[in-house]
């Protein structure tokens, strides 16, 4: 593990990179999928479509069920996440690290 990777993992663990990564995606079924970092742990989430129903008096709305599709837990998995999705983040160090692993055309 290089010093750059150690620094990135420390930055990730400190919460400096917390937040949504990239844009959310809406599937054809109406579900929303997004990637986020929370408390230094990258994860991919999916929330099903919400809806509404008439209860005899008024329309009631409900939210879809939230699922965790994938979590990157180990240091190697976290580095793989930064390699693959780092270019979507606002941090310059992470973008530079991710650019090293960009596939050649």
Split at pLDDT 50, 70, 90, the class of 103 is confident
Range of the domain at 65: 3-99
* Predicted local distance difference test score (pLDDT) of residue 105: 75
* Predicted local distance difference test score (pLDDT) of residue 1: 83
Is the pLDDT confidence value at 33 over 90?
Answer: yes
- Residue 45 located in a structural domain: yes
Q: Do the beta carbons of residue 16 and residue 7 sit within 8 Å?
A: no
- Residue 105 located in a structural domain: no
- Residue 24 located in a structural domain: yes
Q: Do the beta carbons of residue 21 and residue 3 sit within 8 Å?
A: no
Summarize the confidence of residues 48-62 as an average pLDDT. 92
Is the pLDDT confidence value at 29 over 80?
Answer: yes
39-67: b or e for each residue (b if 16 or more CB lie within 10 Å)?
ebebbbbbbeeeeeeeeeeeeeeeeeeee
| The total number of structural domains that make up the chain | 1
Distance CA 42, CA 80 (A): 11
Is the pLDDT confidence value at 102 over 90?
Answer: no
Place of tokens 């992470």: 94
Is the pLDDT confidence value at 94 over 90?
Answer: yes
């Amino acid at each position: 593990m290089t010093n750059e990777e150690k620094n990135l993992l420390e930055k990730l663990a400190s919460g400096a990179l917390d937040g949504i990564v990239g844009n959310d995606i809406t599937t054809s079924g109406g579900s929303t999928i997004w990637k986020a970092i929370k408390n230094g742990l990258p994860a991919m989430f999916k929330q099903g479509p919400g809806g509404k129903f008439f209860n005899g008096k008024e329309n009631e709305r409900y939210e879809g069920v939230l699922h965790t599709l994938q979590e990157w837990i180990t240091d190697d998995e976290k580095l793989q996440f930064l390699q693959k999705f780092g270019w979507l983040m606002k941090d310059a160090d992470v973008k530079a690290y991710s650019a090293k692993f960009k596939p050649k055309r």
